[in-house]
Homo-oligomer: A and B are copies of this chain.
Amino acid sequence: MELVHSLTLHLSAFVSLSDADREVLDKALRKRARILAPRQDIIREGEKPRFVNVILEGWAQRYKQLADGRRQILSFFVPGDLCDTNVFILKSMDHSLSAVTQVRLAEISQREFQEIIETSPRIAQALWWSELVTVAIQREWTTSIGQRTAYERIAHLLCEMFVRLRTIGRTQERSCEFPLTQSEIADATGLTQVHVNRTVQEMRREGLIEIRNKRLEVHDLRALMAVAMFNPNYLHLEAGGHECIAPE
């Protein structure tokens, strides 16, 4: 059923799962669900982590706040993404998770998670892969913020989200959902909202992209990837049944 699709699709970018595997995931995702309003926190820095959260619907984000209020968004989650696999070991969260849009998620307890891993080595592997990709994305963001210009950074973010959505079948030809406000893009890229605005306008003027009505239209993905110096290797999609590199 549809609820499971996103996680299955996500993991399928790495291995193809058997029906039994799917069943196992399906069951785990049904146990404990939560619906959050936009902006609502899922878990806050300092709290004790108790579940692995799986996004079923909507976008979420990981963020960190400095003592004086400055906020850095550390990653976005889309349907199928797992937040903080195996985080149980830690005493407390060093960052927060919150909903961007309305979010439906499944909570998996430590015991359930353990069970899944022991039941299916293939899923265990896929979860490992997913975790490694999450870290790789974090590294890419560090690189982006550290080295890329504002223009390149935003372009890179757009490329990443587009490609990630494509692997879970959530893109059209050249467009996808894109519920982020310019403020959120700013907090994710280490820029100000004003500068994001000007930069996005520039990208629009140059015919690269358009963002409106919570949708992103990518007029020329090739060109966008080029200016962003986007190399999708860090998403490690090469093993799955999906395309990982650009369109034709």
Whole-angstrom distance between the alpha carbons of A190 and B91 in the complex? 31
A28: interface (CB < 8 Å): no
Which of B62, B92, B132, B134 is in CB contact (< 8 Å) with A90? B132
Interface centre among A67, A139, A140 (most CB of B within 10 A): A139
B-facing residues in A229-248 (Cβ within 8 Å): 229, 231, 233-234, 236, 238-239
Q: Is the CB of A86 within 8 A of B132?
A: yes
Chain B residues whose C-beta falls within 8 Å of the C-beta of A134 in the assembled complex: 135
Which residue of chain B has the shortest Cβ distance to A232 in the bound complex?
A: B94
Which of B64, B94, B142 is in CB contact (< 8 Å) with A74? B142
A212: interface (CB < 8 Å): no
A161: interface (CB < 8 Å): no
Chain B residues whose C-beta falls within 8 Å of the C-beta of A141 in the assembled complex: 142
Whole-angstrom distance between the alpha carbons of A140 and B140 in the complex? 14
CB distance from A44 to the nearest CB of B (A): 13
Whole-angstrom distance between the alpha carbons of A90 and B135 in the complex? 13
Stretch at the interface among A2-10, A145-153, A166-174, A216-224: A145-153
Q: Is the CB of A132 within 8 A of B87?
A: yes
A189: interface (CB < 8 Å): yes
Name A's B-contacting residues (CB within 8 A).
45-46, 62, 64, 66-68, 70-72, 74, 86-87, 89-92, 94-95, 125, 128-129, 132, 134-136, 138-143, 145-148, 189-190, 229, 231, 233-234, 236, 238-239
